[in-house]
Structure 1
C-alpha cells in the first residue's frame, strides 16, 4: 500500500474513532437520562422536562392516513428509495422522497390526557411496513406478510418504508410539559397590561377612536392614563376567562438541548437499545483508534 493511501486510511480511521466516541457518549447519556427521570402522571406532572407513559388517542386534528399505505394513523413517516446500478452491475438504494407528519395527537393515562406536538421529536414507532415495487408511488396498502406478500411485493425498482403511530398503542414520551387553564397561571399584571397595549397599538387608528377625547390626533398623558387603566381591566378579564377554562396539558420539544423522545417501546426496552447502541459505537471508537495507531506506526510515526 502506498504512503498516500496509508494517510487516507489513517484519516478515515481517526474519523471513525471520533464519530464512534461521540455517538457512544450521546447514546449513553440518553440511556442514563431515561433512568434518572421519574415517570409522572399527567394530572400531577411538574411543569418542564417530564417523562410520561400512556396510550395513544386521537387529537384535535382530522384523522391521518399513511401516504403510501392509506392506513389510518395518528402520525406517519415514509421514505421511497430508488434502485441504482453501477458499471459493475452492483445495486444500491438512493432515497428519492421522504416525509413526516406534524399533526398533534393525544396521550392518555389513568389520570388524564395530554396533547403532543411531535415536531422535532426522535420518534420510534411500533408499526413499520417495508416492501418493493415497480412504481415511484405505490398504490394501496403494503403487501401482507408471508408467501402472499412475497408474491404481491416482488422485488422492483423502488423500495418503500412507512412507519406509523396508531390509536391504542403504548407510548413513552420524554419532553417539555406545560399546562394551561384551570386557574394554574398566576397573573403578572404589568406584563399582561403591556401585552394588551401592544396589541391595541397594532390598530392605532382604533386606539385614537376610543381614547382621543379631544380629537387632536394624538394621546396626551391624561388619555394614556385611560389607555393603561382600560388595558389593566382587559388583562384581568382575560385572566379570569383563561382560569375558568378547563386544564389542558401539552408536551413538545424542549427549548434547551434536552432529548425529545416519543417511543412505542417502554423505558426499559428503549434504555436497553440505547445502551447497546452506545456499546456498538464504543467498539467503533476503539477499533478506529487501534487501526489508526497501526497505520501511524506503518508511516514511521513511532
Structure 2
C-alpha cells in the first residue's frame, strides 16, 4: 500500500477517530489505556498532518494547464464537468441525483438501534472535463473526491449518505495526464493486406475490376495487381490512422502520487487542507508531549 493511500485512510479516520479514542480512554478509567490512546493519536495526527499539508502545497504549487497544451505527466486542470456525448451519466440507483460521479454509504439498524448491515459503492464511470482549449476524459477510479454536493436520506431503518459531482460543475482535477494516440497502436501491414484481399475475394464486383482481360478468371498478373492495390490501400488507411487526433485522459498517477477531484475552487480547497494540517499538527504536539509523560509515570509507578 502506497503512502498516499495510507494517508488517505488515516486522514479520513482522523476526525471522528480521535473522538472515539478519547471516549474509549475516558470510559476505561485506566491510565495505561490513556497512554496507548495518546500514542495512537500522535501517530494518526502526524500522518494526517503530512497528508493534508502535502495536498495544500500541491494545489498551490502546481500550475493549471490548458488541455490542448498540457504536458504528459502530473498535471492540474480546471474546467466544466460534462457527460459523454449522448448524455450518459454514472450508472447508479434511482435515488442518486444525475451525476458524473457518486459515492454512497448505507447503514441500517434494527428496532433496538443495533447495526444490522452496512454497504457502500463508488462509481467508476468516466466523464469529460472541458476547458476553452479542449476536452479531457476523466477516469475517476481511485480518485480522492472532495465535493460540496451531499445528501442524507432515511428510508425505513436505513440511512443513505450520498456524495456526488453534477454535470456543469466547475471541477478541479489533479492527476496523471496522458494522451492516447491511435498511432501508438502497433500496425501490421502484411496481416492487414491479407485481410483486405480476403474481403475482396468475397466481393464478386470488386474482383471483376481486376479481371482486365475479361475472361472471368483472375490470373497471376491480375492477382499481383490486386495485391499491389491492396498494399496501397492499407498504407493509406494506416497513414490516416496515425494522423488521427489523440484522446486526452486524466487518471490515477503511478508511484502513489495524489489523484484529486473537487468542485471546490482550488484556492479555497488548498486553504481548507491547510487549516486541517494546522489542526493535526497541534493535536500531534499535544499528544506527542502527553504520551511520553504519562508513559514515564506509569513506568515509574510500576
Q: Same fold (TM over 0.5)?
A: yes
Task: Give the C-alpha shift of residue 64 in structure 1.
Answer: 3.2
Alignment of 1:160 with 2:160, yes or no, is yes
Task: Please point out which of 57, 64, 67 is paired with 1:39.
Answer: 64
Is the 2:91–2:125 Cα contact (8 Å) retained in structure 1? no
Match of 1:75 among 101, 106, 116: 101
Contact 2:35 2:294 in 1 (8 A): yes
Q: Could you give the per-residue CA deviations for residues 106-142 of structure 1, whole angstroms, max 9, x where no partner exists?
A: 00001111111000000112321112231xxxxxxxx
**1: CA distance, partners of 2:286 / 2:54:** 21
Q: Which residue of 1 aligns with 2:74?
A: 49
SS at match of 2:167: coil
Deviation at 1:66, TM superposition (A): 4.6
In the TM superposition, what is the alpha-carbon distance from 1:175 to its structure 2 partner? Answer: 0.5
Deviation at 1:252, TM superposition (A): 0.4
Residues 108, 117 of structure 2: 8 Å contact kept: yes
- Partners of 1:125 and 1:238 lie apart in 2 by 45
Which structure shows the higher helix fraction? 2
Other structure's SS at 2:257 match: coil
How far is 1:283 from its partner? 2.1
Segment drifting more, 10-19 vs 52-61: 52-61
Distance 1:292 1:31, change over 3 A: same
Give the equivalent residue in structure 2 for 1:264. Answer: 263
Deviations 1:84-111 (A, max 9, x none): 68xxx8x676861110111110000011
Give per-residue Cα distances to partners, 1:244-273, cap 9 Å, x unaligned. 212321110001221000100111111011
Structure 2 CA distance, aligned partners of 1:92 and 1:259? 37
Distance 1:41 1:272 in 2: 23
Secondary structure, in 3 states, of the residue corresponding to 2:74?
A: strand
SS in 2 for 1:290: helix
Contact 2:177/2:250 (<8 A) preserved: yes
CA distance in 2, matches of 1:255, 1:158: 38
How many residue pairs are counted as aligned between the two chains? 233
- Residue 297 of structure 1 and its aligned partner are, at CA, apart by 3.6
Distance between the aligned counterparts of 1:96 and 1:50, measured in 2?
A: 36
Aligned residue for 1:296, secondary structure, equals: helix
| Distance verdict in 2 for CA 1:96–1:182, change over 3 Å | closer
Name the SS for the 1:43 alignment partner: helix
- Is the 8 Å Cα contact of residues 77 and 99 (structure 1) preserved in structure 2? yes
Pick the aligned partner of 2:149 from 116, 122, 127: 127
- Does the 8 A contact of 1:79 with 1:95 survive in 2? no
Distance 1:300 1:45 in 2: 59
Give the structure-2-normalised TM-score: 0.67
Rounded to whole Å, the distance in 2 between the matches of 1:237 and 1:18 is: 62
1:223-259 deviation line (CA, Å, top 9, x unaligned): xxxxxxxxxx9x9878634332123211100012210
Write the distance in 2 (CA, Å) between the matches of 1:241 and 1:298.
77
Q: Which structure: larger Rg? A: 2
Match of 2:50 in 1: 25
Q: Retained in 1: the 8 A contact 2:96–2:162?
A: no
Cα offset, 1:38, TM superposition: 0.3
Q: Which runs of 5+ in 1 are unaligned?
A: 135-156, 201-232
